[in-house]
Structure formats: structure tokens, C-alpha cells
Amino acid sequence: MKRNRLKKARKKRKTKARRTQPSTSLSDSALKLLRAIDRNWFIFVVLLILFLFLGANIRLNFKREWPVWFQMQHLNPDAKLYYNIAENIVDGNGFLDTFRKKEVLPSVGHPLLLAFFCVILGLSPATFAWVFLFASFVILAIAIRIYTSSNTLAICALWLYAGFFAHIRWLSANVESSIVFAYATLIFSIICFYKSNFRVLWAVISGAALAIHLLIRPLYLFPMHICFIILLCVVLYFYLRKRHLGTPKFVQRWFLLLATAEAILFLTSSYSYIRYSDSRLVTGTYGTYSIYLANNIHLNPEAKFRSRAKHPKAFDEEFDSLIDDTELDWEQKQKIFLQKTFDYWKSYPGRALRGWWWRFRQFAGVFSGNFSWKQPLTVMHTISAWTLLALIFIRMIAAWINKTEKMRLMYSAGLLFAALLVSYSAIHAVFAYSEFRYVTATIPLLVASNFILLFETRGIFVKLWFAIISFSPSDEK
């Protein structure tokens, strides 16, 4: 009884205390919320929203008639193939081509996204492309803001990024939106990986982002496998020969990142072999055909190949006869195309190298073979690439002079993205197409590396300027 009375008394005291406390108004709670928000991030979000909805470049060729024009009947053959595969996935027919019926398949990434967003959720291809493009803009801007802590650099990077797409019609196959989104997501995850001081969680997230990127664009599987093997050898060396020192944290986390990507790709490839007895989900069948398109005896490297219309008749006859051969499966066709490609490089290395070098210049933007002051896209691309080269040169000189800069060089995300830009461009150049619709795939790397390196070199410029203005002849004595 006494206990119950004590409890009731306590409750009365608490209710009295609550009644006596002054009530907080809505304006007071709003002020507390504003104080809790980081002012710089709030300004960045406002600027980002204003830019996306009011910026002149955000129109990106999405004209008023596009929602009607860009429907299924207006899609190009590649986009119809992707959509057909997505429908087959949802209907339970498997990862099959029932549109061309030639087993010419991409990797699973883009069709899987179409299956979810377009077939299941019912988005039109134009809406799908716009949503993913919009998301890539936001993700890239946030990534650069996280790395640089500068609203100015982030918005300038977004302006440059939007400027590229304002001058290009790149949605004809619809897959470009997935590719650009995958690049932006990979850049964001790696930047968070760097800024978190290489935490395990971000290593796993970045590895997953890399795997998704490769399932959309399997072009870079081979170099990723090479990097994984190199890091595995380094880890084993430290474990077997220098166990008392331990593997450096930097190497451990990068190995975990690549191991996560390899594990996801291995599981996907294993399911592909169980389901289809081949690796179509990971590698697709597009790659080998495209390599052959750019590396064969019938094409003249001096006549820059851009479209099927420029194919010589002999090339069309040979290519079509192989593609239409019903007695060969796609793996046998791949072997034939690869063998013809190797024979071409062995027999005509000079011609093959000239063709590759011309395409590489288009992707890298350096000494671009189709540079024209009249075309804003080529001007932006080439100037951005030259700016990137200048920033890399400054970072290298600073690292050579200053020991602390050497350590920063190792942990520089900007140099990593610049290296990826060059290596991706070199790999792209093996394939036939070099028009700017395909160059756009590497533009997120070009923009990110430029602005991250610009942020990293600001301190170097200040030091050099201070050294110049503080120098006087009396210092020599």
C-alpha cells in the first residue's frame, strides 16, 4: 500500500513539473533545428537545388516533345534489345535475346535495371534515363563537396559536368544513363572510402559499387583481375616474409575492396554457369564483336570508322555470314572473331596501332583527332584534359621536391581517378566506336579528377607564390 502511495505521489510531482515547464513554440524548435544543421552543407543543398532546376545547362536536350517522341517505337535497335531482355527476365524466360535471335547479349547490369524500373515499375525509357542522369549529377556534386569541403568547387564541377551533356544527344541506346550513374556511384564510394581513412565498411561498399559498375560495363574486368592478383601477391609477401611488420593498412583496405568486387562477380558468374552453362551474365557477348569491328583487314585506319555505313562491302559480307551462321553457338563465334583480331594485329601491327591511337585520342581528349573550335563539346573536353595534365604535372613536381607531398601523392583520389581515366580510355580505344556518345562514359572521371586535383594543388600554388614574393637578393648572401 505504501509503495502504491509513493508511486502516485511521484507521478503527481512529475506532472506538476511538466506543467510548470515553459512550452517551446514552433519557431523555437525551428531555430534549434537550424542550429543543428551545418550551415555550409545547407548552403550547398540550396545551391544544388537552384542549379538543377534553374541552371541553363540542365535542359540537356530533354525537349518538350521527348516524352512522346522517345517511346518504345522510336528506340534504336540496341535499346530495344535491352528492353526485350529485361522483359524476358521479368517473365521468367531467362537472360535471352528474342528480339534479334542471334544471342548477341550485353552483360546483366543494364537489363536488370530496366527490368526493375521500366518493366516492373512502369517507367518509360526516357524517364528512366532522366532519373539516372539526374541522380548521377547529384551524387557527383555531393562526392566532390565531401572531398573538398568547398561549395564553390562542387558547383563549378557540376556546371562543367552539365555543360558536356548540354551539347550531346547520348540517349539513343539508353544504356549510357546506367553507365554514367555507375561511374558517379563508384566515384562517390571511393571518395567516402578515402575520407573515412580507409574504413572496412566503405571498402566493402566501394567493392560492391565496383562490381555493379563492371556488371554494367564489363570492359574493365581484365585489368581489375590483374590489380587484384598484384595486391594478393603483396599481401602474401607481407604475411609470409615480413609477418612481424604486418601488411600496411592502405594495402589491406584496397585488397578488401577488390576482394569484395571479385566475390560478387564470382557469385554472379557461378549462377550464370549453373543457369546457362556460360558466363553471359558477367561478360556478355557484345565485347568480342566490337573488338573485331575495329580490328580487321577490311577497314582502313586512315578513314576514321564511326558508323556501319562506312563499312566496306567485303567486311559486311564476312561479318554477316558469321553472325547469321546457325550452326555455330555464340562462344564458337567469339573464338573466330578473337582469332581474326589476333591475326590482324600480328599481320598489320602498324595499321592496328594507328587505329588504336586515333581512338585513344578521342577518349582521352589529348591531341584529339576531331578537335574543332566550332564545337563546344570538343573544346570543353580537350581543355579539361589539358588542365588535368597540368595539375598532374604540378603534383608530381611538388612530390619530387617535398617528402610530405610524396605521401599525399599516394593517398590522392584525384590521381587515382586520372589514372582510371587514362586506363579506361586506353581500353575503350580497342573498340570500334570513338564518337562522343561513348566518350561521355568517362566524363565523370575527367570532371572528378580535375576538381579534386585542383583542390589538392591550391596549397602548392600558395606555397610557390609565397616563396617567390618572399625571395630577395639578400637571401643568397
DSSP state of 366: S
User: What Rg, from alpha-carbon coordinates, does the chain have?
Assistant: 27
> pLDDT value at position 56?
45
3-state secondary structure of 84: helix
Q: Classify residue 105 by burial, with Cβ atoms within 10 Å: 0-12, 13-18, 19+.
A: buried
Percent of residues in the chain assigned helix, strand, coil, to nearest 5: 75, 0, 25
CA–CA separation, 37 and 35 (whole Å): 5
CA–CA–CA angle 257, 260, 266 (5° rounding): 140
> pLDDT value at position 239?
76
The residue among 79 and 469 whose pLDDT is bigger is 79
Q: What is the pLDDT of residues 436-457, one digit of tens each?
A: 667 777 888 999 999 999 888 8
Q: What is the DSSP string of 396-454?
A: HHHHHH-HHHHHHHHT-HHHHHHHHHHHHHHHHTTSS--SHHHHGGGHHHHHHHHHHHH
The most distant pair of C-alpha atoms in the chain lies apart, rounded to whole Å, by 104
Q: For the whole model, what pTM was predicted?
A: 0.82
CA–CA–CA angle 182, 186, 82 (5° rounding): 15
Q: What is the pLDDT of residues 368-423, one digit of tens each?
A: 666 666 677 777 888 888 889 888 888 888 777 776 676 777 778 899 999 998 88
> pLDDT value at position 151?
86
**Residue 1 confidence (pLDDT) above 90:** no
CA–CA separation, 78 and 438 (whole Å): 14
> pLDDT value at position 167?
64
CA–CA separation, 288 and 432 (whole Å): 11
Using pLDDT thresholds of 50, 70 and 90, give the confidence band for residue 186: very high
CA–CA–CA angle 143, 145, 149 (5° rounding): 135
Q: Which residues have a Cβ under 8 Å from the Cβ of 364 and sit 6 or more positions away? A: 385, 421, 422, 425, 426
> pLDDT value at position 477?
44
